Amino acid sequence: MLDIAEELHRWAEQGRDFAVATVVAVAGSGPRGPGAALAVDTDGTAIGSVSGGCVEGTVYALCEQALRDGETVLERFGYSDEDAFASGLTCGGVIDVLIAPVRAADPSRPALTAALAAAARGEAAAVARIVSGPADLMGRALTVRPDGSYEGGFGDRPGLDRTVAGEAGAFLDAGRTGTLEVGAEGSRCGAPVTLLVESAVPPPRMIVFGAIDFASALVRAGTFLGYRVTVCDARPVFATRARFPDADEIVVDWPHRYLERADVDARTVLCVLTHDLKFDVPLLRLALRLPVAYVGAMGSRRTHLDRTARLRAAGVTDPELARLRSPIGLDLGARTPEETALSIAAEIVATRRGGTGAPLTGAHTPIHHDIAPPPPAGAPAPEPAGRTGSRA
């Protein structure tokens, strides 16, 4: 739901009633992951997607039904061997989708509106909604903020509210979306309750050091991938808005001095394109000790060997050097700045998602590395807890 927060927040501000279908779980080669959503308002307007087209028509109709009857339901969609044109996933995957109304009088409306508003502003928030459990909990939600405060809840169950707020806060810290199971009275007490926790966090950072032509292409690629991109260079004549119109921020400073004060986290990627040892060595000495997702440096293999020797002399350890992606990027045979930017971006995605960078043609490994593999051949897909219908 939070992946379409900007549009849904507008609907909420306008007082519209709507229903949201959200992917809860995926098995096999599902087209979109947990948290992907499609919403339909009372006028029939639709935004978002749960499957990239495979089952959108059926999900749209289920959203209309939820608006009419006010019921929250969980549906399963899978591949249909009998009828290739039936409502199902022709990619062979299985997805569970939660369809829930969000109407003006619904008890979940304030909490959901708070989460949508935060996500639309680019702020961090997590929202937990009941997937399955006691009937009186269905349709309720709780929104958690980074400071641990929360809004909404699950009726007269303060223990459950506290437990879910703590668990959802952990999801938020990790920027994770997924399901969890707790007891209806909190902790592990009471009947089991399954919840979907969606996290919205600010965009991850990409910091590009070196205001060169390759950096301009990489900035565009980073923006396309959803990063908040900063360009840093000590030379004011090169680090200009005219040269980098797509950058979110342009900093004129020595790279290592800027990185010392920069706000980075476990999702941050650092791309060192300065290609100048007086910049590279102090910058990489610091970068390789930071808890960031990716550190890559441009240069030939000879440059890399020379730079590695200088980094060792500066006190950088072998485990720290093992984190360095250099020469930067995947082997695509890239020549132009745009091709090189694609090579770097591909390596960043592979690092983030656990990919190998190998061709998919002829391979037998999962396409989506962060999605559970399908059940064994001939075995039924696991039933979602509290399933109310099936579209397989």
The structure tokens listed for 326 are 């250099």
CATH class of the domain comprising 205-353: alpha beta
**What contacts 359, CB < 8 A, 6 or more positions away?**
none
Q: Is 224 helix (H, G, I), strand (E, B) or coil?
A: helix
pLDDT of residue 105: 87
Parallel, antiparallel, or unpaired: how do β-strands 125-132 and 141-144 relate? antiparallel
Residue 375 above 60 pLDDT? no
pLDDT of residue 41: 95
Range among 23-37, 138-152, 186-200, 217-231 with highest mean pLDDT value: 217-231
Task: Report yes or no: 341 and 214 within 8 Å, Cβ to Cβ.
Answer: yes
Task: Report yes or no: 272 and 211 within 8 Å, Cβ to Cβ.
Answer: no
Parallel, antiparallel, or unpaired: how do β-strands 294-297 and 269-272 relate? parallel
Residue 279 above 60 pLDDT? yes
**Tens of pLDDT, residues 168-225:** 999 998 888 999 998 888 777 678 889 999 999 888 999 999 999 999 999 999 999 9
Task: Report yes or no: 326 and 296 within 8 Å, Cβ to Cβ.
Answer: yes
> The tokens 């039933």 sit on which residue?
383
Q: At what angle do helices 337-353 and 213-224 cross, to 10 degrees?
A: 40
The dihedral through the CA atoms of 305, 357, 279, 210 has a sign that is: positive
pLDDT of residue 206: 97
Closest among 18, 15, 16 to 39, alpha carbons compared: 18
Closest among 333, 363, 368, 364 to 349, alpha carbons compared: 368
Average pLDDT over every residue of 50-77: 88
Task: Report yes or no: 25 and 75 within 8 Å, Cβ to Cβ.
Answer: no
**Tens of pLDDT, residues 330-363:** 999 999 999 999 999 999 999 988 888 888 887 7
> The tokens 């565009």 sit on which residue?
220
Mean pLDDT of the chain: 86
pLDDT of residue 388: 39
Q: What are the φ/ψ torsions at residue 15 (nearest 5 degrees)?
A: 80, 15
Band (280; pLDDT cuts 50, 70, 90): very high
Closest among 327, 350, 342, 175 to 265, alpha carbons compared: 175
- Which stretches within 46-95 are classed as H helix? 56-69
The structure tokens listed for 113 are 């509106």
Residue 389 above 90 pLDDT? no
Residue 273 buriedness (CB in 10 A; 0-12 / 13-18 / 19+):
buried
pLDDT of residue 112: 94
pTM for the complete prediction? 0.68
Average pLDDT over every residue of 224-236: 95
Band (83; pLDDT cuts 50, 70, 90): very low
Task: Report yes or no: 208 and 215 within 8 Å, Cβ to Cβ.
Answer: yes
The Cα-based distances of 191 to 91, 140, 181, 345, 379 in angstroms read: 35, 17, 10, 46, 28
- Residue with more model confidence, 293 or 56: 293
Band (122; pLDDT cuts 50, 70, 90): confident
pLDDT of residue 369: 61
Domain boundaries, the chain: 1-106, 107-202, 205-353
